[in-house]
Structure 1
Amino acid sequence: MELKCLSPCCKKYPSLYCYCTEEPQTLCNKHIIEHKDSSPHLFHNIKTIYRVIPIHKRFSMITYLQEEIISLKQKQKSFMSELQKVQVMINTISITVLQNINNKIRMCHSLLKNVLHVKKINTLYRRINSSDKNVNVKDLRFEIMKKFDAIKGKNWKIIYDDIKNFVDMTQNFNYCRSDLKQENIDDCVYFFKPGTTTLLEFDVKGCNTKSFNLTFNENQGYLAGICKIPGNKLFITGGYVNNMLIKDCTFMVDLESKTVEELKKTHKRAMASANYYQNKVYVFGGFSGGIAMRNCDVYDLIEKNWGSATMLPTSVCNTNAVNLKGRFLIAGYQNFLYLYDVKGNWYQEVAKVLVSAYNMIVKNGEKLFLIGVRIYTGNTYDLKNWKDSKKLSISENSTCKPIVRGNYAFYSDWKSNVYRFNCSTLDVEKIMTLG
């Protein structure tokens, strides 16, 4: 990839990255001030492109790159072999599909000819309660469907199997995996009845509640990190249990089969939300061993393993976050309001506002709401300016992911209360207590 300075007509080779947008901008030293002045509302995190290679690290880096090249070439060879099989499969599928479509066209032409000229048709199949003498459009549709089923025979079964094999085949290669889509995966508020294995579900559409007894090997608690992930599953990590013990377990719950998969453990942690983005779950800070944490732990849903991101600038607990196109806006106790850039792996303070132990971030369109002992309002295109809009009388600890529907946001607290936040009036209403 050829690097160029962002400034038009500049021929100097860039020496700096600016992480002010979703994609890092490359700049030369001459144009960095011009770039900052052109977009003063953005956060400009400047990093040098070049980093020094320590002498004692050169051998390990050379070895890694050589091994990676060999591995990639093997993958390339394997993929080309599989691709040839797939091409044959696609040709077979294409021929079969086109043959069936042509058969259906001929069938419709034959029936049309009878309707136009003969004014009667031979029907082999009869709908229930249909007339023995007269025929109508529903009868025609039923006749075509049944005859088409008879013609295609077992071909469709072969097609479906081939397509499934093709999908399974491509997913065996890491570089062919597409991101599990985030859109519209959140529809309910989930939390556990403390000290049990009972999962509580609050459906925001109808304000209905359900409970499920799951097969955990230990009771679940409160203030755990819980978020919905693709595949209609829940990701659960940490939390308090009886006698204020903090958990280090991580689980994945299939909401359809109600099965529980135990994942690798991580730090003992409570008071930190879990946040999904592009096949990974991010957990910022938290509380463990009587102190707030600086750790940012990242769980890879593909590799099924924990990793780490850059440590937080300061220890923080009671963290909640919202995703702003590849950047997390994180709020936490005490007075912590920072932006984390996933690609750049850096943090930057957004604004100095009062962030209490009771906080929740809600994003509704471009509007942002920081709910705590006070409610601050802001927007996604100007994160520096927040308005102190209202004092709030209802405040409890929560690591819940709020669900936004229309003008309302729904969330729960550690006492199993469910709240409804009005994004227009900024009113918070406790609508239900579960558990």
Structure 2
Amino acid sequence: MDFKCFAENCSNKLKFYCSCKENLIFSCLAHIGQHADEDDESKHVLKAIYKTTDHDRKQYLIGKCEKISEILIKTQSLINQNIISMIESLTALKDATEKYYQNQRNEIQNIIEDLSQNNREVVVPGYKASDYCLEEIAYYNDNLSLKTNNLDKKLKADLTRFQELYKVSKFFSINWLDYKSNANLDQNLYFFRKGTKTFVEFDITTNSLSQFEANIQENQGGLPAVCQIPEGKIFYYGGIDPNLNFGYIIDLRTHIFEPIPQLRALSYTHATYYNEEVYIFTGHPGTVKCDKFNLAERTWLSLSNFPEGSVYSVSVLPCIDYFILSCSSGKKLYTYNFISNNYQLLTSSVENSTCNLLFRDGDKYYYLSKESYFTSHEGNLKIWTKSAKNLSQSILSITSKPVTRNRNVYFVSGKHHTVFKFDLDTESLSKVLTY
């Protein structure tokens, strides 16, 4: 972040930024008046660049920056290894070629000296010095061409690995979430056909299903805690009908199912990925217990108990500094601060049910509950307004993450075999597929 004052050759500390232009204008205290006098004064919206932060957030930000620094060091090391490998391969070929041609020149020089000094040449049958040398060089060059082709393949492989470092992978453990949308990594909808081992992916672009048989022991239920995590994998835990106390990390590419350590039997709740951990709040049957799963250590950690008591059907919408949480009863939405591990009441003006879902469209927030829906806005999330119109149908019980594509929000009820679509422009709900 190389911010500089807009004034030419100014090296003062920055204090303000202004959004009067498409590219933000930065200014020090000494030049802010000069900028304010430019253009129409009504266009200037001056804001402070820095704000004081509390201890918990300071520690959180320091930890996050330290993690980014570790990633940069690891990435630099991996890139250097690839570059060094390419250089070593080229250097080895260069050294071998130089040595070979030096030996050939020495041999020719020996022939010249023998002829000059001793007036003699080699007369071994089948060997003519000048022809033999050229034949050997031709043979070497043919082999050199083969070696060059092999080296070219190796260099391309090294370059491919080099390019892979810039993709979301295990080297980049921070996966940036879109806080103007639903702040999850989910690309499609993922579920098992209830009572089977058939794992299904619903492609929200083509509105089509693809599936495969999982190599696992148990038939699966509905309404598990499920979300996408880094490296193209799915976190999948629990379910109902049957009630399940186990889960898997599913590799969508290899179809490998890695067992997750047992937590408790649960369903009717969301799994939420954030910063290399998966959060689960309560679950059916109703409980106050909340937990998070550390993806690096493959361990469960307990969180503070849910403030509403023993509930389930907790939908989760990540925001930059906290999560917004619903639940199965009452009129309250809560925030959960993942830095300090505590809850705060957000509003008491909604109507909760076991069928609910939170999602976002830019600065506008939505909360669907059965046939009703409520909206709020970024500037004042304590106020949620119930829409005058009802949805055309209940959304049923949902534990999938909402996935937005082309102004539509998709989600699935695995228990009721139904994929839904909420149109953000018309604010209407419809069934896309019953399977």
TM-score by structure 2 length?
Answer: 0.61
Residue 403 (structure 2) aligns with: 403
Cα offset for 1:185? 3.8
Please point out which of 335, 346, 350 is paired with 2:346. 350
> Structure 1 residues 177 and 419 mapped into 2: Cα distance closer, same or farther (>3 Å)?
closer
Cα offset for 1:404? 0.6
Pair 1:302-2:296 in alignment = yes
Letter in 1 for 2:412: S
Per-residue deviation, residues 408-427 of structure 1 (Å, max 9, x unmatched): 10111120111110112221
Distance in structure 1 (CA, Å) of the matches to 2:361 and 2:338: 21
Residue 178 (structure 1) aligns with: 173
Per-residue deviation, residues 355-396 of structure 1 (Å, max 9, x unmatched): 111101111222211011310011233211111113233231
Distance in structure 2 (CA, Å) of the matches to 1:98 and 1:375: 67
Please point out which of 356, 364, 369 is paired with 1:367. 364
Residue 276 (structure 2) aligns with: 279
Cα offset for 1:228? 1.1
Write out aligned runs for 1:132-143 (5 A). none
Residue 167 (structure 2) aligns with: none
When structure 1 is superposed on structure 2, of 306-315 and 257-266 the one drifting more is 306-315
Residue 187 (structure 1) aligns with: 187
Residue 221 (structure 1) aligns with: 221
Alignment check: 8 A CA contact 1:324 1:380 kept? no
Letter in 1 for 2:299: N
Alignment check: 8 A CA contact 1:250 1:266 kept? no
Residue 204 (structure 1) aligns with: 204
Residue 320 (structure 2) aligns with: 325
Instruction: Among all aligned residue pairs of Structure 1 and Structure 2, give the percentage whose two residues are the same amino acid.
Output: 25
Letter in 2 for 1:285: T
Alignment check: 8 A CA contact 2:328 2:354 kept? yes
Per-residue deviation, residues 265-321 of structure 1 (Å, max 9, x unmatched): 101111111111111110011123xxx111211111111111122222122211111
Per-residue deviation, residues 144-192 of structure 1 (Å, max 9, x unmatched): xxxxx97854445665777899999xxxxx9x87324557842211122
When structure 1 is superposed on structure 2, of 307-316 and 408-417 the one drifting more is 307-316
Pair 1:382-2:383 in alignment = no
Cα offset for 1:253? 1.1
Per-residue deviation, residues 87-143 of structure 1 (Å, max 9, x unmatched): 68755646878999xxxxxxxxxxxxxxxxxxxxxxxxxxxxxxxxxxxxxxxxxxx
Query: Secondary structure of 1:409's match?
Result: strand
Distance in structure 2 (CA, Å) of the matches to 1:48 and 1:177: 25
Distance in structure 1 (CA, Å) of the matches to 2:257 and 2:342: 34
Alignment check: 8 A CA contact 2:82 2:161 kept? no
> Structure 1 residues 46 and 333 mapped into 2: Cα distance closer, same or farther (>3 Å)?
farther
Please point out which of 325, 333, 340 is paired with 2:336. 340
| Higher CA-based Rg | 2
> Structure 1 residues 235 and 347 mapped into 2: Cα distance closer, same or farther (>3 Å)?
same
Distance in structure 2 (CA, Å) of the matches to 1:165 and 1:194: 40
> Structure 1 residues 296 and 158 mapped into 2: Cα distance closer, same or farther (>3 Å)?
same
Write out aligned runs for 1:94-109 (5 A). none
Cα offset for 1:199? 1.6
Per-residue deviation, residues 212-251 of structure 1 (Å, max 9, x unmatched): 2111210110111111111111111111123xxx211021
> Structure 1 residues 355 and 86 mapped into 2: Cα distance closer, same or farther (>3 Å)?
closer
Letter in 2 for 1:376: F
Structure 1, unaligned runs of 5 or more: 1-44, 50-75, 101-148, 169-173
Distance in structure 1 (CA, Å) of the matches to 2:401 and 2:56: 36
Write out aligned runs for 1:114-263 (5 A). 153-155=149-151, 178-180=173-175, 185-242=185-242, 246-263=243-260
Query: Secondary structure of 2:384's match?
Result: strand
Query: Secondary structure of 2:367's match?
Result: strand
> Structure 1 residues 411 and 95 mapped into 2: Cα distance closer, same or farther (>3 Å)?
same
> Structure 1 residues 85 and 234 mapped into 2: Cα distance closer, same or farther (>3 Å)?
closer
Name the count of aligned residue pairs: 305
Alignment check: 8 A CA contact 1:223 1:270 kept? yes
Alignment check: 8 A CA contact 1:182 1:230 kept? no
Distance in structure 2 (CA, Å) of the matches to 1:262 and 1:428: 36
Q: CA RMSD in A?
A: 3.9
> Structure 1 residues 270 and 233 mapped into 2: Cα distance closer, same or farther (>3 Å)?
same
